[in-house]
């Protein structure tokens, strides 16, 4: 299974740009895409994660694991975001030990959501 | 299928209580549980949604739908939260038309996360 790193490409983070490609969210997505994607992680661009007051925002999600949303990310955080995504992908439940989380993940969590039970599990 | 309304019972929302049952998150959970739960909605208490700076927090989630997280909720919002949860449960994708969302859902979104593809779908 592969963990998905969602990146909001429309995040403005309080900046004003005539060119949407210069938005902080779009810049963050480019910075992440320019680096080597960790094994078992896929990067998916999303138009709006509805975290507009706390952008730029990213989310980590995978079936059977807790979902995490992080805010106030910048392109300079791209390496740490990928390190954190790789640690997340390596867990069974999405719960990375606190000390192994990048500082930006420890301090800039917007929310986490429990793993949904998949229909197959719910029927067991 | 049933939509899940997660309620963070540990949210402090800046208040200090010696008795954990008086925390705003716990009070919100009680207020929600005291009302009639809409059809196709289940309320699930969670210890920490990691939205501590924006508590009390709730999340709406269902397989195949967008997940939503809302913050700064109070027990007075319980009826509106359930109305919004029922509208969410009635959708195919979690996207309730803007005008049909409770005002607290329009204004107090912390984040939304795309639906994960379930393994069964991914294998198709």
pLDDT at B123: 43
Please report residues of A whose CB lies closer than 8 A to that of B50. Answer: 68, 109-112
Among chain A, residues having any CB pair with chain B shorter than 8 Å are 1, 4, 6, 44, 46, 48-51, 54, 57, 59, 61-63, 67-69, 71, 109-114, 116-120
pLDDT at A117: 67
Using one digit for the tens of pLDDT, what is the confidence trace for A11-67?
998 889 989 999 999 999 999 999 999 999 999 999 999 999 998 999 999 999 999
Question: Complex ipTM above 0.95?
Answer: no
Contact state of B63 with A110 under an 8 Å Cβ cutoff: no
Q: What is the pLDDT along chain B (124 residues), one digit of tens a residue?
A: 799 999 999 999 888 998 999 999 999 999 999 999 999 999 999 999 999 999 899 999 999 999 999 999 999 999 999 999 999 999 999 999 999 999 999 999 999 999 986 554 444 4
Coil, strand or helix at A50? coil
Contact state of B111 with A109 under an 8 Å Cβ cutoff: no
Residue B115 and residue B124: Cα distance in Å, rounded? Answer: 16
User: Confidence band (pLDDT; 50, 70, 90) for A120?
Assistant: very low
Residue A80 and residue B80: Cα distance in Å, rounded? Answer: 39
CB B11 within 8 A of CB B58: no
pLDDT at A114: 96
Q: Which of B111, B116, B119, B123 to mutate to test the interface with A (most CBs of A within 10 A)?
A: B111
Contact state of B44 with A114 under an 8 Å Cβ cutoff: yes
Cβ-Cβ contacts under 8 Å between A and B: the total is 90
pLDDT at B75: 95
Please report residues of A whose CB lies closer than 8 A to that of B109. Answer: 50-51
User: Confidence band (pLDDT; 50, 70, 90) for A1?
Assistant: confident
Please report residues of B whose CB lies closer than 8 A to that of A43. Answer: none
Q: Where are the alpha helices (DSSP H) in chain A?
A: 24-34, 78-89, 103-107, 119-122
Q: Answer yes or no: pTM beyond 0.80.
A: yes
The torsion region of residue A94 among left (phi > 0), alpha (psi -120 to 50) and beta comes to left
């Amino acid at each position: 299974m592969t963990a998905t790193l969602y990146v909001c490409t429309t995040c403005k983070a309080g900046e004003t740009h005539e060119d949407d490609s210069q938005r902080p969210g779009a810049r963050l997505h480019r910075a992440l895409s320019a680096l080597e994607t960790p094994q078992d992680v896929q990067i998916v661009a999303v138009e709006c994660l509805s975290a507009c007051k706390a952008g730029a925002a990213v989310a980590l999600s995978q079936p059977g694991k807790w979902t995490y949303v992080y805010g106030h990310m910048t392109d300079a955080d791209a390496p740490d975001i990928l390190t954190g995504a790789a640690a997340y992908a390596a867990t069974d439940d999405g719960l990375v030990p606190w000390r192994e989380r990048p500082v930006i993940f420890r301090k800039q969590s917007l929310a986490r959501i429990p793993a949904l039970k998949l229909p197959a599990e719910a029927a067991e």
